[in-house]
Amino acid sequence: MSPLTPNPMPLSTPYPDSPRRAPLGTRAKPLPLIIDCDPGHDDAMAIAIAIARPELNLLGVTVVAGNSILPNTFLNTRRVLALLGAHDMPVAAGAAVPLVRPLFTAAYVHGESGLEGADLPEPAGRVHEAGAVDLIATLVAASPEPVVLAPLGPLTNIALFIQAHPELISKVSHISWMGGAVGEGNVTSAAEFNVYVDPDAAAVVFASGIPITMVGLDATHLAKMGAAERARLEATGNRAGRVFSDLLGFFEVFYQERYGWDYCAIHDAVAVAHLVDPELVAVVHAAVDIELADLQRGRTVVDWFPDRLRDRGRAASVDVAVGVDSARFADLLVDAIGQFA
């Protein structure tokens, strides 16, 4: 096992060493994958990994409101697909608002459009007019192998899919979701953005019985990209490298102002990279509950102590990410972006 950078916001108790349970794609047997996203700078980089890596077979991309309103996140997704040459990728717009609550967006992180900082091409992709839930259902039903879902935003589309298609739940082998946190949140002290926006959807997804890896802030704050990585992207000499370097430059401003860091955290890319690299992410097996009450809205309550779980009649059924090999992550992402024209 490679050395994993310790959690920057450590808890006072050590994590038990738990083996990963997410399926792993291989070149010989690529994982069928659907991404649900709200681009978002880090969403865009996650899509690049999914398209570049031969261990993954990206079947389609669905879009949710989150970092910005749905028309923006949909347009951004299709522009990213164009940048990455994925002109025929099935793509569909989904929920414009969370299940119950009003939409809360992150223009303060990603800019007004949700993907500020670079000159992106005209939109591409094969638009599935029947919408995100229908596209997920169509792709899952048609796949000979069980499909992995990688939601990289609020879980609204995934919850709606689960509610509309209980007959397809058994054909989803795993959900690798960027969201949540063991420790401190990034919208409130209690909650990370994706779960804060739609905690009711998260509760539906976590109750579905589908195996989940929760890739939260404790891990993703270690997925660092800064000036050195920007220079490496520029050095690729390709358009994608330049565009992603520009996007990183914009994204870094928030991290500088908010945390005083000279790098930004590429959260969403970790949830996808985990599906191709078994050495990248450390996990702990835990039970996760989603808090819906106002004060701690969206808190992901993570518990891995066997005696407590036994007393509560709960199982440690979720893989919760608690560490990332930072250098390995940066190499993987730069290499993926370097593969495009």
Minimum CB separation from ligand BDR for residue 230, in Å? 19
Task: Report the partner that residue 193 touches, choosing among Ca ion, ligand BDR, none (CB closer than 5 to 8 A by kind).
Answer: ligand BDR
Q: Whole-number minimum distance, CB 198 to ligand BDR, in Å?
A: 12
Q: Which tokens in the block code for residue 192?
A: 């990370």
Specify which residues 224 forms β-bridges with.
Answer: 265
Contact 185, 220 (CB under 8 A): no
The residues of the shown chain that bind ligand BDR, judged by CB under 6 A, are 40, 42-43, 67, 106, 109, 152-153, 178, 186, 192-194, 267-268
Give the nearer residue to ligand BDR in terms of CB position, either 99 or 265.
Answer: 265
Q: Report the partner that residue 109 touches, choosing among Ca ion, ligand BDR, none (CB closer than 5 to 8 A by kind).
A: ligand BDR
Complex with ligand BDR: residue 93 or 137, whichever CB lies closer: 93
Q: How far is the CB of 219 from ligand BDR (least distance, A)?
A: 11
Strands 281-290 and 126-127: unpaired
Helix (H) or strand (E) run with residue 111 in it: none
Identify what 192 binds: Ca ion, ligand BDR, none; CB under 5 to 8 Å per kind: ligand BDR
Rounded CA-CA distance 278/139 in Å is 26
Least separation in angstroms between residue 181's CB and Ca ion is: 14
CB of 271 to ligand BDR, least distance (A): 9
Question: Which of ligand BDR, Ca ion, none interacts with 252 (beta carbon under 5 to 8 A by kind)?
Answer: none
From Ca ion, ligand BDR, none, interface partner of 332 (C-beta below 5 to 8 A by class): none
Nearer to ligand BDR, 2 or 108 (CB): 108
CB of 45 to ligand BDR, least distance (A): 10
Of the candidates 3, 132, 16, the residue with the CA atom closest to the CA atom of residue 65? 132
* Residue 106 contact partner, candidates ligand BDR, Ca ion, none, CB within 5 to 8 A by sort of partner: ligand BDR
- Residue 331 CB: number of other CB atoms within 10 A? 14
Residue-wise burial string across 138-176, b where 16 or more C-beta atoms lie within 10 A, e elsewhere: bbbeeeeeebbbbbbbbbbbbbbbbeebeebeebbbbbb
CB nearer to ligand BDR: pick between 192 and 277: 192
Choice between 40 and 298, CB closer to Ca ion:
40
- Contact, 249 vs 238, CB < 8 A? no
* Helix or strand holding residue 173 (H, E): strand 172-178
User: Which of residues 152 and 321 has its CB atom nearest to ligand BDR in the complex?
Assistant: 152
Active site residue 128: no
Catalytic hit among 221, 267, 274, 285: 267
**Residue numbers at the binding site for Ca ion (CB under 5 A):** 38, 40, 43, 152-153, 268
Minimal CA–CA distance to 54: which of 339, 294, 306? 339
Q: Among candidates 297, 265, 268, 134, which has minimal Cα distance to 201? A: 297
Tell me which residue of 77, 82, 50 sits closest to 63, measured CA to CA.
77
Catalytic residues, which ones?
A: 267
